[in-house]
Amino acid sequence: MRGCLMGKGSGYGKAILFNEHFVIYSVPSIVSAIDKATTATVEHSSGSGWTLEDSRPATPGYKEEKLEQQKESIERILKAAGIGPTETPIKITFGGDLVAASGIGASAASCTALARALSDEFNLGLSDGRINELAYEGEKGYHGSPSGIDNTAATYGGLIWFVRGEPNVMERIKIKRPVEVVMGNTGLVANTKVAVAGVRERKEKSPEKYEKLFNEAKELAFMAKKALVDYDLKAVGKLMDENHRQLQAIEVSCKELNHLVDLARANGAYGAKMTGGGLGGNMVALTPGKDLQDQVARAIKKEGFDVLMTRIG
């Protein structure tokens, strides 16, 4: 134990480029970490149990709405790390430049950051693989049965091909150079558990319709991987558009997301789609080059939405 020093850690935010929701059913998915992160510090405190100071910038209402899930998440991570806060009371502080919002990997980024800070403070010497396992455990507090894609991006960074399984398949995708994207925030705080349960219910009611969509999504993932490796950004954009249509078909988009997607496309984006759990949260638009990125971001801001200008890959 290190006494009164402070353990530190961080985790990246993310944009799912292809196949959120489908990923839960072992359809391949492509995710990229983004250049914004959540930080965590852990320090010994007086009293008993753990206390939390959440200083992350956030979509209004996000932190309040997620508080119970966050508490469960922290408890799970502490338990998985073998730390009993009753014996060693700690103060956890979250910060960083990743906005706590839906669809951007905020929960996974905080879980990864906390796992790293605990490893640092308690000299646990955890490998990235183990950090990822702890973060996944924490994600259960938010998502019930998470796919594992968000915490993988938060832990490892970069552009990742991900297939859920026993074990998960994770491969890095190398591209020529990073690509500018714009993420537009609907301002709606989404409940991923509800979105996931809705898909499961509809899939059970219409198995044939859903099987066809899931097979199409699987094919699309392989085409998208090839387009990214070939750096054929026009093709990547078209496939993002197609993937958004598939996500609309499984009813996880919403009118605000569709509006932002249409707006980005109308202003020159190569492609755009919802990203993350849906029913609110964020969308992502492929906007290669600073000028196009600025143009699309301006159009979204003009309509009163918050934007994040970042890069994938």
- pLDDT tens-digit readout, 178-231: 999 999 999 999 888 889 999 999 999 999 999 999 999 999 999 999 999 999
Crossing angle of helices 207-229 and 192-205, rounded to 10° = 120
Q: Report, in this order, helix, strand and coil percent for the chain, each rounded to 5.
A: 45, 25, 30
Coil, strand or helix at 191: coil
pLDDT greater than 60 at residue 118: yes
Number of residues assigned to the chain: 313
Q: Please report the pLDDT score of residue 193 as a whole number.
A: 84
Q: Average pLDDT, stretch 231-250? A: 98
Q: Return the pLDDT at 87.
A: 75
- Among 172, 189, 222, the domain-final residue is 172
Answer yes or no: is 95 within a domain: yes
Distance (Å) of CA 234 to CA 161, 179, 268, 270: 20, 12, 11, 6
Shared-domain flag, residues 195 and 140: no
Domain total of the chain: 2
100 plus 192 within the same structural domain: no
**Which residues on neighbouring strands pair with residue 43, listed in sequence order?**
6, 91
Q: Which domain holds residue 11?
A: 6-172
**How much is the pLDDT for 84?**
80
Give the pLDDT score at 240.
98
* pLDDT tens figures, 80-110: 999 986 778 999 999 999 999 999 999 999 9
CATH number at residue 159: 3.30.230.10
Tell which residue, 182, 191, 189, has the closest CA to residue 306. 182
Q: Answer yes or no: is pLDDT of 3 > 60.
A: no
Give the residue carrying structure tokens 């159009």.
299
Gap between the terminal Cα atoms of the chain:
38
Q: Kindly tell me if the per-residue pLDDT of 243 is higher than 50.
A: yes
Q: For the segment 263-309, what is each residue's pLDDT rounded down to a tens digit?
A: 999 999 999 999 999 999 999 999 999 999 999 999 999 999 999 99
**CA atoms of 224 and 237, how far apart (whole Å):** 9
**Among all chains, which residue has been given the structure tokens 């990246």?**
12
Mean pLDDT of the chain: 95
Instruction: Evaluate if residue 50 carries a pLDDT over 80.
Output: yes
Is the preceding peptide bond at 167 cis, omega within 30 degrees of 0? Answer: yes
Half-sphere exposure of 277 (CA within 13 A, CB side): 29
In our burial notation (b when 16+ CB lie closer than 10 A, e otherwise), range 217-246 reads: bbebbeebbebbeeeebebbbbbbbbbbeb
Domain boundary among 129, 149, 172: 172
Predicted confidence (pLDDT) per residue in 140-173, tens digit? 999 888 899 999 999 999 999 999 999 999 999 9
Same domain, 156 and 186: no
Residue with more model confidence, 86 or 47: 47
pLDDT class of 1 with cuts at 50, 70, 90? very low
The C-alpha atoms of residue 63 and residue 106 are separated, in whole angstroms, by: 10
- Pair 79, 146 in one domain: yes
CB 128 within 8 A of CB 112: no
Strand, helix or coil at 15? Answer: strand
Nearest Cα neighbor of 63 from 101, 117, 108 is 101
What pTM does this model have?
0.93
Q: By three-state DSSP, how is residue 81 classified?
A: coil
Q: Which residue has the higher pLDDT, 242 or 85?
A: 242
Q: Are 102 and 276 in contact (CB under 8 A)?
A: yes
pLDDT of residue 2: 46
Within a domain: 14: yes
In a domain, 292, yes or no: yes
Handedness of CA 293, 296, 299, 300 (dihedral sign): negative
Q: How confident is the model at residue 48 (pLDDT cuts 50, 70, 90)?
A: confident
pLDDT greater than 90 at residue 131: yes
